[in-house]
Amino acid sequence: MAHDRPHTLTWRMSKKASIRRKRAKPGSRRGGRFFHIEVRPAREFVRFRVQDIGVPGGVERLAGQRANGSWDTQKWLVEKTHAHLENNLLVPDTVEAKKVLATLGSAPIHVRGDRFRAKPRRNIPEAEKPTPAMRRAQMRNIKKAQASRRRRGKTSASRSKRARTKRA
């Protein structure tokens, strides 16, 4: 007899749970500090991490880790003080926000609330690498390393000279 009906307390709890609303997604109600620009769906990832880009608080990157261990950008968070809405278009107000919007593969499309959707930047095939930008960055890094070696060389040479004069 006791197993004919579910326990009354459990039945009441399940009834309440079915009446309750589903949790609203972040940014769907225009209440937060950030505009959310989704680049890839969250279901592709198993773990997430937020990274500050540039000055703390302005632009943040939500990185996601896939099941195979690789990391990629899931969405960009642009603070509302760094951009504004104009005719359902996201318009950057700072250099940081402008840079993020320029790196996207397409213009952000307004979904609802503070949420936008954009395509990720294009994948560069291995045959086209290194790109001109990669070459410039590599040359800049090499020149920086050479300059620091030259600076270190001068200081170590003067130290060894001092050491020789002390011995004599």
What does 36-47 look like in DSSP terms, one character per residue?
Answer: EEESS-GGG-SE
Torsion sign across C-alpha atoms 96, 97, 101, 104? positive
User: What is the reported pTM?
Assistant: 0.63
Give me the pLDDT at residue 24, please: 80
Give me the pLDDT at residue 13, please: 54
53 within 8 A of 59, measured Cβ to Cβ = yes
| Rounded Cα distance, 90 and 92, in Å | 7
Give me the pLDDT at residue 16, please: 56
DSSP class of residue 123 equals P
Query: Both tokens of residue 54?
Result: 């540039």
Give me the pLDDT at residue 6, please: 53
Give me the pLDDT at residue 29, please: 76
Give me the pLDDT at residue 161, please: 63
Low-confidence residues in the chain, pLDDT < 50: none
